[in-house]
Amino acid sequence: MRSQGSSRLVAFDEMSPDKSGIRRPYFGYDSWLREQDTARLSEKTRDAERVFRKTGITFAVYGEAEAAERLIPFDIVPRIISGQEWRRLTQGIEQRVQALNAFLDDIYHRQEILRAGRVPKELVANNAAFLPEMIGVRPPGGVYTHIIGVDVVRTGEDDFFVLEDNARTPSGVSYMLENRETMLQLFPELFQRVKVRPVEDYPKLLRQSLAAVRPDGVKGTPTIAVLTPGLYNSAYFEHAFLADQMGVELVEGQDLRVVDGHVAMRTTQGYKRIDVLYRRVDDAFLDPLTFNPDSALGVPGIMDVYRAGNITIANAPGTGISDDKAIYSYMPDIVEFYTGRKAILGNIPTWRCSEPGSLKYVQEHLAELVVKEVHGSGGYGMLVGPAATKKEREEFSKKLAARPSNYIAQPTLSLSTCPVLTDAGLAPRHVDLRPFVLVSDRIQIVPGGLTRVALKEGSLVVNSSQGGGTKDTWVLDD
């Protein structure tokens, strides 16, 4: 999936699945590519790196003081998706997002899906991501997950699967935007030949979407702000970028306080009320009076303001349970329960290690499986069985035995590949895709997303924190 390892299965290549030719979505690009000089393309790669360095497009790597800020490697060969493929993906993503919001509203209110036995009660009640403080609280507009990043993988011509639902504080959209801007600068003539749908209006759509879910009592244009943990957060570049692109304030917890029942930010003219807060701070640090009392990143009393309906927090507190990896295994049931239809986009088969039979199977087949922490992210805390040593598997088996409910396991899929530019020419590398979804009074999906690519030959590492890179994602205007 997304951790260290190598692929031993035959992968579907999205540009050229066999030696017989090029897939139709790549016809226009391949025609252009054949006219290009290899030296020119190599120089363009260096140009792209200079653009990223000048712009300051970096991310932080926790625990690596010697390389705290890094450039995300960028490959200049785009990942291309046909309009027909995109329509199918968006239909499946919209269905899934509707189900996620309905699920969140249900478990914090009537809990019908629990009473129906479609999701085990203990999986919710005992889940660290479930916030009892949200029981009976309905966010403005009834929207819990305002910004979602749905991770999609492909294994064949028509085989797409959802790998994860990122419903807490999904990141990466700034890289999607900067990747496109960089490609437009480097290859303006290419965009004249290949009609690609635009992504650059995402900040405008984000601001409009956030404004649409302002509290009921707010008349006129709401005041929006982005809450960041601060300069040392791994995604700080994105926080600052989005605030700047939307034309709103970037604030830290120390800039905010509760004034007369509302959250207000400090300005040179005094404190100004905030109506919508796009927070990039985790639940535990959001309000030291309600959650972690040692947090200096949040706002004391903000949950009281929220429960009173005087501020919109995007995404809503407590949304994390909907992207918990144990809950993920029930998503086909969740989608069918709330939409009345089978899921358009399927899940990857998943073993829940909390179940004794599944735990036994996983421990006996560790050499074949990917094992993940239910609350893990960024490729940390995982075991990729085929790439692990016998000793590593034995040690991980002990972790499973000690805390089985903390893990799920999945088969090692052969993710699709797209070509990257290497010193020796084009070469296939594994990819995944994170489309970004905006939810307000409607659902909007920007045509594209963040394609992450494993840069080492045979590797399945796509996370930037684990050595992966990114590509521009083209959805064709056909």
Mean pLDDT value across residues 64-68: 48
Question: Tokens 């959001």 map to which residue?
Answer: 286
Measured on CA atoms in the order 132, 137, 138, 140, is the torsion positive or negative?
Answer: negative
pLDDT at 87: 97
pLDDT at 313: 98
Q: Do residues 419 and 428 lie in contact, with contact meaning Cβ atoms separated by under 8 Å?
A: yes
pLDDT at 66: 46
Peptide bond into 406 cis (omega under 30): no
CA distances from 360 to 76, 162, 355, 371, 396 (A): 45, 25, 9, 13, 13
Mean pLDDT value across residues 466-473: 86
Q: Do residues 167 and 319 lie in contact, with contact meaning Cβ atoms separated by under 8 Å?
A: yes
Beta strands in 34-184 (DSSP E): 58-60, 69-71, 74-81, 147-156, 159-166
Looking at the DSSP assignment, which residues form a beta bridge with residue 371? Answer: 383, 409
Mean pLDDT value across residues 290-310: 97
Topology of domain 349-411 in CATH is Dna Ligase; domain 1 (3.30.1490)
Q: Do residues 78 and 470 lie in contact, with contact meaning Cβ atoms separated by under 8 Å?
A: no
- Whole-angstrom distance, CA of residue 461 vs CA of residue 342: 31
- Whole-angstrom distance, CA of residue 476 vs CA of residue 187: 16
pLDDT in tens, 49-61: 998 888 877 665 5
pLDDT at 85: 97
Mean pLDDT value across residues 422-445: 95
Mean pLDDT value across residues 68-83: 87
- Whole-angstrom distance, CA of residue 161 vs CA of residue 89: 10
Q: Where are the domains of the chain?
A: 349-411
At residue 5, does pLDDT exceed 90? no
Residue 376 banded pLDDT, cuts 50, 70, 90: low
Residue 363: CA count within 13 A, CB half-sphere: 19
At residue 179, does pLDDT exceed 90? yes
Residue 367 banded pLDDT, cuts 50, 70, 90: very high
Looking at the DSSP assignment, which residues form a beta bridge with residue 119? Answer: none
Centre a 10 Å sphere on the Cβ of residue 131 and count the other Cβ atoms it contains: 22
* pTM greater than 0.75 (yes/no): yes
pLDDT at 419: 95
- State the DSSP H helix or E strand holding residue 95, giving kind and residue range, or none if neither: helix 83-107
- Percent pLDDT > 90 in the chain is 78
Q: Do residues 263 and 256 lie in contact, with contact meaning Cβ atoms separated by under 8 Å?
A: yes
pLDDT at 1: 37
pLDDT at 8: 52
pLDDT at 387: 81
Residue 6 banded pLDDT, cuts 50, 70, 90: very low
At residue 341, does pLDDT exceed 50? yes
Mean pLDDT value across residues 35-52: 92
pLDDT at 143: 98
State both tokens at 466.
Answer: 């684990």
pLDDT at 67: 44
- Whole-angstrom distance, CA of residue 390 vs CA of residue 392: 5
pLDDT at 58: 63
- Percent pLDDT > 70 in the chain is 92
pLDDT at 391: 92
- Whole-angstrom distance, CA of residue 478 vs CA of residue 476: 6
Q: Do residues 179 and 470 lie in contact, with contact meaning Cβ atoms separated by under 8 Å?
A: yes
Residue 377 banded pLDDT, cuts 50, 70, 90: low
**Of 61-65, 339-343, 403-407, which one has max mean pLDDT?**
339-343
Residue 327 banded pLDDT, cuts 50, 70, 90: very high
pLDDT in tens, 190-240: 999 999 999 999 999 999 999 999 999 899 999 999 999 999 888 899 999
Query: What is the average pLDDT value for the chain, to the nearest integer?
Result: 91
